[in-house]
Structure 1
């Protein structure tokens, strides 16, 4: 999906992972990552792993210096948010150019990771942990 803001075409993508949601805007620019109004490095606590995960779709397509990435991330922790950002960027890149879809799809960057926390069941201590069995 794309919108025109300030004579720039903006590409939008939404990513989700666990309880995290990331709304991503790709704007033609110099390659800055801004998450919730903060520089991406600061928000992701200067973790090279989180930064690499978040920008991997751009790196794969060689567009890391072409677009600024503006993200509104909420919920979950940094790992879930980094993965949600990755999915959001991938989806935005698909709306940018449909040819990107095949490349991102083969790398598995368009697959939503559906694993979420299992709910607690009654009679159990957690989702599956049962109270200790006593025979007598």
Structure 2
């Protein structure tokens, strides 16, 4: 829905900051949804979780993750998921692991999921 409202095809997304709290069920579910929505692009769109660096900031998490996406767009560099050694096979995406990766970023997605089913997917575009 967010991609449709932004008028973007999935292949135009350059980066995803996943909600990814490190829970087996939640992360696998988010990865499955990303594979469904992105289709063939799912294997090439870089995904990371900045929660690996900050911890889960609860109500502030979404705001910080949007900021991380904006910084990625401005600096043309993707933040990594630190300490990700052996990704769960259920989360077979294009992970940014260990260190930041230089890469052109024109369109990014920030996913935030709240307790009780409050979910947000923001599409951020370079201007």
Common topology (TM > 0.5): no
What TM-score, normalized to structure 2? 0.27
Larger radius of gyration: 1
Which structure carries more strand by proportion?
Answer: 1
Which structure carries more helix by proportion?
Answer: 2
What TM-score, normalized to structure 1? 0.26
